[in-house]
Every structure is written in C-alpha cells, then in structure tokens.
Amino acid sequence: MVYDWLSTLCFASAVLGFVSFLVIAHDRPEKAGWDG
C-alpha cells in the first residue's frame, strides 16, 4: 500500500538524519552545537 511505503520512507529518512547528526557531532561537535 502507498501508506506503508510512505511510512517506511519517513522512517528511513529519520534514521538517516539521526545517523548523519551523530556523525557530524562525532566529527565536529561545535557544528552540532555541542561543547565537546
């Protein structure tokens, strides 16, 4: 169904965004708004 596909897409994009945030925070903490 289209709804299942959309929910899967939203979930995948949310996971990707969270992972990329973790990578940025690990690489450059100041860019993510962290002190260290």
Query: Contact, 31 vs 20, CB < 8 A?
Result: no
What does the pLDDT read at residue 31? 65
What does the pLDDT read at residue 23? 87
Nearby residues of 34 by Cβ (< 8 Å), 6 or more positions away: 25
Which pLDDT band, with edges at 50, 70 and 90, does 18 fall under? very high
Query: Contact, 10 vs 18, CB < 8 A?
Result: no
**Cα end-to-end span (Å), the chain:** 45
Amino acid at residue number 27:
D
Which pLDDT band, with edges at 50, 70 and 90, does 25 fall under? confident
Report the largest interatomic distance among the alpha carbons of the chain, rounded to a whole angstrom: 45
Cut 0.85: pTM above it: no
